[in-house]
Amino acid sequence: MTISGKAKLAGVIGWPVGHSLSPRVHGYWLAEHGIDGAYVPLQVRPEDCRAALRALPKLGFAGVNVTVPHKQMAAKTVDTLDAVAERTGAVNTVVVEAHGRLAGSNTDGYGFLENLKSGAKGWKASAGAAVVIGAGGAARAITAALLDAGAPEVRVVNRTLARARRLAKDIGGAVTVVTWADRAEALAGAALLVNATSLGMKGGHSLELDLKRLGKAAVVTDIVYAPLVTPLLKAATARGHKTVDGLGMLLHQARPGFRRWFGVEPKVTAALRDFVLADLGA
């Protein structure tokens, strides 16, 4: 696909950025809709993040996605924050507005909810307590999204308890902090279990978690998507739980940015999933 001198520009800022699947996702949508535009990987060192973001309007960019490790710095750099970015202290989407103003938002929680809604038909946040494993950036966005969507309680389990406590304080609302040792007990009566840590990723440690206290109707989901079926999802399926893999979260969180930069509402389809999976070697 070729572009003209009037092409709209967006990209993803990260360090390193070579692992990012976002150029594949946005490139797919650009081609699908025949848009005169480009979405490029931008390898930016941590110390250059602020200057790179500030340069976006000068370079004529419509905006960028922000990935590890720049999400917090982006939140401190942009001119405005949406409610989720404000609460989580992390920005993953930047839109260049009039007069070069930078608007920061966080679409991770939105992506998480959209993925659950499409992967587990009939699932509702209000169905019961959710257990979130992890207290990093992803866990923060997911916890805030679940509470906003009507979850009566979110139980946050983390290896480092102080980090879970900080999350509870920052997010506010019905968050219960659970120690790592008590994680299996925390599953009792829960309607949703989320792994929001990197545990279970190909080549890394797996999540040691006994599921026997989890009620049969509970939905189980994972933010890890490589492998697509993590050991947690495999164990949950074997016990008869409805499961939702993590790839959809990545795809859905990309939609709001694409719509703002390129003016088209993109869709997450089976063909897009296959296209991205081919890149993962899955």
Give the x-and-dash track for 80-119 against ligand ATR (CB under 6 A): ----------------------------------------
3-state secondary structure the chain: CCCCCCCEEEEEEECCCCCCCHHHHHHHHHHHCCCCEEEEEEECCHHHHHHHHHHHHHHCCCEEEECCCCHHHHHHHCCEECHHHHHHCCCCEEEECHHHCEEEECCHHHHHHHHHHHHCCCCCHHHCCEEEECCCHHHHHHHHHHHHCCCCCEEEECCCHHHHHHHHHHHCCCEEEECHHHCCHHHECCCEEEECCCCCCCCCCCCCCCCCCECCCCEEEECCCCCCCCHHHHHHHHCCCEEECCHHHHHHHCHHHHHHHHCCCCCCCHHHHHHHHHHHCC
The residue from 27, 128, 136, 152 that contacts ligand ATR (CB under 6 A) is: 136
71 is catalytic: yes
Is 236 a binding residue for ligand ATR by CB under 6 A? The answer is no
Is 35 a binding residue for ligand ATR by CB under 6 A? The answer is no
Q: How far apart are CA 66 and CA 48, in angstroms?
A: 13
The residue from 57, 189, 198, 226 that contacts ligand ATR (CB under 6 A) is: 198
Is 23 a binding residue for ligand ATR by CB under 6 A? The answer is no
Is 73 a binding residue for ligand ATR by CB under 6 A? The answer is no
Q: Which stretch binds ligand ATR (CB under 6 A): 18-26, 110-118, 136-144, 258-266?
A: 136-144
**Cβ 186 to ligand ATR, closest distance in Å?**
14
Number of residues that bind ligand ATR (CB under 6 A): 14
The set of residues, in sequence order, having a beta carbon less than 8 Å from that of 128 and lying 6+ positions away, is 151, 152, 189, 190, 191, 192
Is 165 a binding residue for ligand ATR by CB under 6 A? The answer is no
Is 143 a binding residue for ligand ATR by CB under 6 A? The answer is no
The residue from 33, 50, 159, 166 that contacts ligand ATR (CB under 6 A) is: 159
Residue with smaller CB distance to ligand ATR, 137 or 248:
137
Q: How far apart are CA 89 and CA 59, in angstroms?
A: 26
**Cβ 199 to ligand ATR, closest distance in Å?**
5
Is 158 a binding residue for ligand ATR by CB under 6 A? The answer is yes
The catalytic residue among 6, 71, 117, 121 is 71
The residue from 12, 85, 135, 151 that contacts ligand ATR (CB under 6 A) is: 135
Residue with smaller CB distance to ligand ATR, 62 or 81:
81
Q: Are 223 and 195 in contact (CB under 8 A)?
A: yes
Residue with smaller CB distance to ligand ATR, 119 or 137:
137
Is 160 a binding residue for ligand ATR by CB under 6 A? The answer is yes
Residue with smaller CB distance to ligand ATR, 201 or 236:
201
* Catalytically annotated residues: 71
Question: Which residues contact ligand ATR (rule: CB under 6 A)?
Answer: 134-139, 158-160, 163, 197-199, 205
